[in-house]
């Protein structure tokens, strides 16, 4: 597929449109051995594009792991509130990234951001059984049969959840720490599942998404590109 040279260079991670336009103007880019003198030039995935004599790698899609802090919307744009896109460097702001599965504003932890619609769609499809694991703090105590109820599939007003895994990690004086693994990603799903047991979720953190685990070296608000091993999962789900 043909595309403009500036768009191609953005996808290689060289920076924003204005940054790459400046790079092109300074005659540092060649296409198949010829110096590029305009952002309008057309290239495709087979073109040999070099910057300062070094071959560039074109990435059709970008995949980022973000450790979401509280207080940010899992949206791409909002007129008043901060979104997770605001946490990214400018070179990632205009390449169509969106979250593969949203987290609530107060939920923290793993969000995969991508501009690959097929991958994002498949991770949410019940057919693909992509598991999402969370650590939750539950106010007070859970009913003794909570794990069995989750295993059978919690019945909510509008749908019945697939079987979920609930492990009690620690019971403290005023709250209980649990690990819960679900297979879908419906709106407020975990909070609603616990609410059906008359329990309140007071803290929620996503720790894994399919085979991708939250990198503990990322502080809240930090992110990185998916590594090779994580990309294997992406390829398997696509």
Residues that bind ligand URA (CB under 6 A): 103-104, 107, 188-191, 204
Q: Given the complex with ligand URA, which of 49 and 164 has the nearer CB atom? A: 164
Q: What are the b/e assignments for 25-61, b being 16+ CB within 10 Å?
A: eeeebbbeeeebeebebebeeebebbbeeeebebeeb
Q: Respond yes or no: is residue 215 known to be catalytic.
A: no
CB of 154 to ligand URA, least distance (A): 12
CB of 224 to ligand URA, least distance (A): 21
CB of 194 to ligand URA, least distance (A): 8
Q: Which of 78, 104, 174, 215 is catalytic?
A: 104
Task: Give which of 121, 14, 117 is closest to 59, Cα–Cα.
Answer: 14
* First-to-last C-alpha distance (Å) of the chain: 20
Report yes or no: 32 and 44 within 8 Å, Cβ to Cβ: no
Residue 96 CA to residue 184 CA, distance in Å, equals 24
Q: Given the complex with ligand URA, which of 25 and 151 has the nearer CB atom? A: 151
Instruction: For residue 120, give the 3-state DSSP assignment.
Output: helix
Q: Given the complex with ligand URA, which of 119 and 134 has the nearer CB atom? A: 134
Q: Given the complex with ligand URA, which of 152 and 188 has the nearer CB atom? A: 188
CB of 197 to ligand URA, least distance (A): 14
Residues in the chain: 238
Report yes or no: 188 and 136 within 8 Å, Cβ to Cβ: no
Catalytic center residues: 104
């Amino acid at each position: 597929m043909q595309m403009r040279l500036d768009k191609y260079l953005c996808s290689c991670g060289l920076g924003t449109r204005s940054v790459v336009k400046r790079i092109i103007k300074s005659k540092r880019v060649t296409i198949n051995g010829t110096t590029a003198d305009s952002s309008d030039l057309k290239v495709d995935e087979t073109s040999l594009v070099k910057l300062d004599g070094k071959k560039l790698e074109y990435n059709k899609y970008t995949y980022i792991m973000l450790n979401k802090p509280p207080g940010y919307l899992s949206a791409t744009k909002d007129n008043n509130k901060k979104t997770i896109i605001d946490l990214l460097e400018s070179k990632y702001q205009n390449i169509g990234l969106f979250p593969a599965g949203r987290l609530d504003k107060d939920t923290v932890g793993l969000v995969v951001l991508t501009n690959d619609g097929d991958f994002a769609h498949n991770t949410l499809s019940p057919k693909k059984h992509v598991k999402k694991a969370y650590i939750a703090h539950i106010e007070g105590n859970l009913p003794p049969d909570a794990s069995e109820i989750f295993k059978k599939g919690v019945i909510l007003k509008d749908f019945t959840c697939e079987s979920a895994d609930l492990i009690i990690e620690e019971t403290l004086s005023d709250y209980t720490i649990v690990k819960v693994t679900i297979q879908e990603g419906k709106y407020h799903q975990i909070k609603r599942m616990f609410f059906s047991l008359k329990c309140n979720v007071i803290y929620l953190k996503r720790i894994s998404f399919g085979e991708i685990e939250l990198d503990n070296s990322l502080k809240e608000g930090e992110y990185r590109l998916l590594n090779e091993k994580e990309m294997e999962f992406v390829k398997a789900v696509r």
